[in-house]
A and B are shown apart, each in its own frame.
Chain A
Amino acid sequence: MTDKRTITLTVNGQRHTREVETRMHLADFLRRELRLTGTHLGCEHGVCGACTVLLDGEAVRSCILFAVQAHGCDVITTEGLAAPDGTFSVLQQAFWEKHGLQCGFCTPGMLTTLTAFLRETPDPTEEQVRDAISGNLCRCTGYATIVEAALSAARRLRGEG
């Protein structure tokens, strides 16, 4: 018995229609069906945060959300954060400048999480940034520079250079 459904969703501004098995996660859908491998799978049980994507603007774990549940939704993955010509978003640029990544495995989840967070909290304290990424594990333990990058991006987004 293979339970399948046809779903249509918008990913990074592009509409896709696919027939999927209903037990397929959104993360596997993005990686296998759309070949958008920027969304990483670490723990596959909602703890590590590497698979975080924006679903209708809200940061969610794509490893514990079924692709069929995203039918009709607007999804942004890490590939959708930069401008179409490849110019980094302000947050990505800050990660680059502050060395906010080492091995890069957690980076997609950090970027999507912080993108949603900064939209809602434009003037965060360091503690608020740390709380926001408390659900994203960086096993290089490079949190200091990630926090620095987030604060730097927040300043720039507020127009404070």
Chain B
Amino acid sequence: MKPSPFKYHDPSSLSEAVGLLGSLENAKLLAGGQSLGPMLNYRYVMPDHLVDLNKVVDLTHIHIEKGRVHVGAMARQRVLERDPGLQKACPIVREALLEVGHFQTRNRGTIGGSLAHLDPAAELPGVMALYDATLELAGPRGKRTVPMAEWGRGYMSPNLEPDEILTGLAWDAWEGVQGHAFVEFARRRGDFAIVAVGCLLALDAKQAIRRAAISLVGVAYAPVRLPSAEKFLIGSKGEEQAIEAAAAEARKIEAKSDLFASGAYRQRLAGVLTARAVKTAYQRALGENAGK
């Protein structure tokens, strides 16, 4: 339960980190270390070089400008959880974060680490899928961006080359009257989700849903957005029929089986949790409307 020997590097700038990652053989980036740490201890990962990003301070920003949220990859989960501006603009981020590990792990864990690790059950990729976030990468060939829809390429395989660094994320907060919900089913508090569903809804002046986003994690190898279900919600006022139609779409996802749950069980959960998330989000949107 001790990592194999490696050479440790702690660059203080992004350009230095890019240079190291591009020139070293079998190098691994260390962000918050809450997933990589255990993997190193288990020797699932045996890098020759560890490039620690914790001293690269220009990757820790959180700022919101004209409704667009910009977050550095090394922004810690606990800092995001406590950020009042983010809570106001995107309250679902905090609701999802409270399901991410425990507060001791969120004190170190980062948003970029979660997205780059891309555990199928991770909550933050699911939230980023709801907002169609843009991922910002830097590498020896320069910078590029990847939309969230193209981020997951396979099991724990993001659209990130071995010499590239995820530097930040950006997304647009929703406007107008809206509701959100992030609901998760896990065996214990803080465990990996068997299934979790995030839902964002925006209402028009007549309290009908004008915009909807639903994403699920834990079901497939990467977050699944559900446009077919979202379509059924547009124009509805939270009627049972529309919610059931959305839930039926969630049950159609080709779900993975593992030690903890069968695909069929996950499909059932996907339906139940989707209905729950939509109902809660709609109720919250109505509440917000009443408050205005």
B window 100-120: CB within 8 A of A: 101-105, 107-108
Q: What's the Cα separation between A27 and B37 when bound, in Å?
A: 13
Contacts of A22 in B (CB 8 A): 6-8, 50
* 15 A-B contacts (beta carbon < 8 Å): A2-B5, A3-B6, A23-B40, A45-B1, A45-B38, A46-B37, A59-B103, A61-B37, A61-B108, A64-B33, A65-B37, A65-B108, A66-B33, A68-B10, A131-B189
Task: Say if the beta carbon of A49 comes within 8 Å of chain B.
Answer: yes
A23-B2, A61-B37, A65-B37 are known contacts; what are 20 more A-B pairs with Cβ within 8 Å? A3-B8, A22-B50, A23-B3, A23-B8, A23-B40, A25-B2, A45-B1, A46-B34, A46-B37, A49-B102, A58-B107, A63-B37, A64-B33, A64-B34, A65-B108, A113-B104, A116-B103, A117-B103, A134-B190, A135-B105
B41 A64 Cβ-Cβ under 8 A: yes
Task: Say if the beta carbon of A79 comes within 8 Å of chain B.
Answer: no
B104 A61 Cβ-Cβ under 8 A: yes
- Specify the main secondary structure of chain B where it touches its partner: loop
A-B contact count (CB 8 A): 84
Binding site for A on B (CB under 8 A): 1-8, 10, 33-34, 37-38, 40-42, 50, 52, 54, 78, 101-105, 107-108, 188-190
Q: Encode A51-78 as 1/0 by CB contact (under 8 A) with B.
A: 0100100111101111011000000000
Residue of B nearest to A130 (CB): B189
A3 B78 Cβ-Cβ under 8 A: no
Residue of A nearest to B189 (CB): A134
Contacts of B188 in A (CB 8 A): 134
Contacts of B8 in A (CB 8 A): 3, 5, 22-23, 66, 68
Q: What's the Cα separation between A3 and B188 when bound, in Å?
A: 39
What class of interface size applies to chain A in its complex with B?
20 to 34
Task: Say if the beta carbon of A148 comes within 8 Å of chain B.
Answer: no
Contacts of B108 in A (CB 8 A): 60-61, 64-65
Task: Say if the beta carbon of A1 comes within 8 Å of chain B.
Answer: yes
Q: What's the Cα separation between A45 and B33 when bound, in Å?
A: 11
Binding site for B on A (CB under 8 A): 1-3, 5, 21-23, 25, 28, 44-47, 49, 52, 55, 58-61, 63-66, 68-69, 113, 116-117, 131-132, 134-135
Q: What's the Cα separation between A66 and B5 when bound, in Å?
A: 13
B38 A60 Cβ-Cβ under 8 A: no
Tell me which of A59, A69, A135 contacts B52 (CB under 8 A).
Answer: A69
Known: A3-B8, A45-B38. A69 touches B54 (CB 8 A): yes
Closest chain A CB from B186 CB (angstroms): 11
Q: What's the Cα separation between A28 and B190 when bound, in Å?
A: 25
Q: What's the Cα separation between A3 and B4 when bound, in Å?
A: 11
A44 B105 Cβ-Cβ under 8 A: no
A63 B41 Cβ-Cβ under 8 A: yes
Which of A3, A60, A64, A65 has the most B CB atoms < 10 Å from its CB? Answer: A64
Contacts of B50 in A (CB 8 A): 22
Residue of A nearest to B8 (CB): A22
Contacts of A1 in B (CB 8 A): 5, 7
Q: What's the Cα separation between A69 and B36 when bound, in Å?
A: 14
Closest chain A CB from B72 CB (angstroms): 18
Q: What's the Cα separation between A23 and B213 when bound, in Å?
A: 43
Closest chain B CB from A41 CB (angstroms): 8
A60 B104 Cβ-Cβ under 8 A: yes
Contacts of A3 in B (CB 8 A): 5-8
Q: What's the Cα separation between A47 and B34 when bound, in Å?
A: 10
Contacts of B52 in A (CB 8 A): 69
Known: A46-B37, A135-B190. A58 touches B78 (CB 8 A): yes
Contacts of B42 in A (CB 8 A): 45
Per CB-CB distance, the 7 closest pairs between chain A and chain B, nearest first, are A64-B37, A135-B102, A22-B8, A45-B38, A44-B1, A134-B189, A58-B107
